[in-house]
């Protein structure tokens, strides 16, 4: 399956993002903030979404003692890839963990992988981009990937996350074999939050 070409020019509306099927989280945040402002959101500030230049970043220590004034997001950390530390296949990318194909995909938009390092990219068999290059996905069971996500949150003024786990993945649950991987992701989240000054 060939994915649509990734466009570099700014998008004009959120619906255009979903139509592209390939979008970065950074681009989604920028576009969402812009559309909310244009929609006339009373008192809405784009300041939390503004990305500071690396040399101007301020290390802001956040307190985890209160929620007031904080922007927190849900963080599942549930994506897995064939060949990652979990060894569980394409969980949450595909409805069939050991196989990924157009008819098994369980996500709406292909992530923009350009900022991920080689060690964070997992080639997806049978999928290429419009330019013929190999399509890739990321695994949440990777400390570098989780840290990258938290760095993006820091850059865009997102204060932290609610880490979500499902009971079926816990010891005694129907998917207890996933627990070691879930525990690693929890540790990656804790470490990344400490390194980036985010709460969780």
Of 17 and 170, which is predicted with more confidence? 170
pLDDT per residue over 3-15, tens digit each?
A: 766 554 433 333 3
- Burial call 103-120: b when 16+ CB within 10 Å, e when fewer: eebeeeebbbbeebeeeb
pLDDT per residue over 72-90, tens digit each?
A: 999 999 999 999 999 999 9
Residue 124 parent element (H or E): strand 122-129
Both structure tokens of 196: 């980036």
């Amino acid at each position: 399956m060939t994915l649509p070409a990734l466009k570099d020019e700014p998008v004009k509306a959120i619906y255009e993002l979903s139509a592209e099927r390939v979008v970065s989280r950074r681009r989604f945040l920028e576009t969402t903030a812009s559309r909310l402002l244009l929609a006339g959101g009373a008192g809405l500030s784009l300041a939390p979404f503004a990305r500071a230049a690396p040399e101007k970043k301020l290390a802001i220590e956040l307190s985890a003692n209160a929620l007031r004034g904080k922007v927190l997001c849900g963080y599942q950390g549930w994506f897995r890839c064939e060949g990652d530390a979990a060894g569980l296949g394409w969980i949450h990318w595909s409805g069939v963990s050991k196989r990924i194909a157009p008819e098994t995909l369980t996500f709406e938009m292909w992530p923009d992988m350009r900022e991920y390092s080689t060690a964070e990219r997992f080639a997806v068999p049978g999928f290429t981009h419009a330019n013929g290059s190999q399509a890739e996905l990321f695994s949440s069971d990777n400390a570098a990937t989780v840290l990258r996500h938290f760095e993006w949150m820091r850059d865009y003024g997102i204060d932290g996350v609610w880490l979500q786990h499902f009971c079926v993945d816990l010891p005694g649950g129907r998917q207890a074999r996933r627990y070691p991987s879930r525990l690693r992701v929890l540790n990656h989240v804790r470490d990344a939050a400490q390194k980036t000054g985010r709460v969780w």
